[in-house]
Chains A and B, each alone.
Chain A
Amino acid sequence: MARTIKMKIKKSGSEYRVLVLVKHPMETGRRKDKKTGKLVPAHYIETMTFSLNGKLVAEANMGTGVSKNPLLGISLTAAKPGDKVSIHWADNKGESGSVESVVK
């Protein structure tokens, strides 16, 4: 089942701000499972790319220091209504996901 991902695009002055929330455990690898007593392996989003009309405008790299169910936000300096924003994430276990939205 795909992990829930939600994007918001807000106008901020002459720019747009894109906020994205992904439901992801962002496990550090240092937490013990209470039932088994074993360490839960590290499982975290490594990279998230942000594209405007197919062109890469920003790329975020994360480690285990980013919170569970991570939120990230970037700005778009040259977007206009009708433009397509797409976000793609990939984690250290090879899982990935994406979401698209249109600037209103």
Chain B
Amino acid sequence: MQRRTFLQNTVAGAVLVTASGVGLLNPRKAQAAWPKAAFAAVKSKDSVKALFGDAEIVEGGITLKAPLQAENGAVVPLKITTSLPNVEEIAVVVEKNPFPLTSRLKVFPGSGGYFAVRVKMAKTSKVYVYVKAGDKVHVAAQEIKVTIGGCGG
């Protein structure tokens, strides 16, 4: 009797701990603080370091759909997909922006290797997409041309 009750309580306790760990009790509350240092970095390598430390960065495993030339530098749509297992984080860095890190997605169980975002590009630049999967950080890059145009008012 006593042992069964003890076990039941332990299980219930474990569920409670796990739930609060991934925000079940407070689904609106963000899991971690906004990464100020990463967003404030003015050099892309510093924003990458602020996010991933000294992790080994390898190429491949990421598909980036993006225009070769942007219609308007203020709204450049990007679509990132990856079939790498155990994706934890996806980050988008625009090299020539005043603050290269534009956004990053933390991926928890229930979500996968897909991220869509629309970013600002100050000028023609390489766009780097980082995916942390397992213990490695993968990268893919593409240059996107930005010209000034726009006929008609």
Q: Which A residues fall within an 8 A CB radius of B?
A: 12, 15, 17, 19, 28, 30, 46-47, 49-52, 54-68, 70-79, 86, 88, 90, 98
Q: Given the interface contacts A67-B75, A67-B120, does A76 sit within 8 Å of B111 by beta carbon?
A: yes
Residue contact A75 to B103, C-beta cutoff 8 Å: no
Q: Give the one of B22, B29, B103, B110 with max A CB within 10 A.
A: B110
Residue contact B103 to A54, C-beta cutoff 8 Å: no
Chain B nearest CB, measured from A102 CB (Å): 16
The listed residue (A58, A62, A65, A70) touching B111 by CB distance below 8 A is A58
Q: Given the complex of chains A and B, what is the CA–CA distance between A52 and B107 in angstroms?
A: 13
Is B66's CB within 8 Å of the partner chain A? no
* Minimal Cβ-Cβ distance residue in A for B114: A75
* Chain B residues, CB < 8 A from A72: 103, 105, 115-117
Residue contact A58 to B105, C-beta cutoff 8 Å: yes
The listed residue (B30, B75, B103, B107) touching A49 by CB distance below 8 A is B30
The listed residue (B30, B109, B120) touching A59 by CB distance below 8 A is B30
* Minimal Cβ-Cβ distance residue in B for A88: B28
* Minimal Cβ-Cβ distance residue in A for B113: A75
Chain A nearest CB, measured from B36 CB (Å): 9
Tell me whether chain B's interface is mostly helix, strand or loop, or mixed. loop
Q: Given the interface contacts A51-B23, A88-B28, does A57 sit within 8 Å of B120 by beta carbon?
A: no
* Chain A residues, CB < 8 A from B17: none
Chain B nearest CB, measured from A30 CB (Å): 8
Task: Sample 23 A-B pairs with CB under 8 A, ordered by A number.
Answer: A15-B112, A15-B114, A17-B114, A47-B30, A51-B27, A52-B110, A55-B27, A57-B111, A59-B30, A60-B106, A61-B103, A61-B105, A63-B39, A66-B118, A66-B119, A67-B74, A67-B118, A70-B117, A71-B116, A74-B114, A74-B115, A74-B116, A98-B28
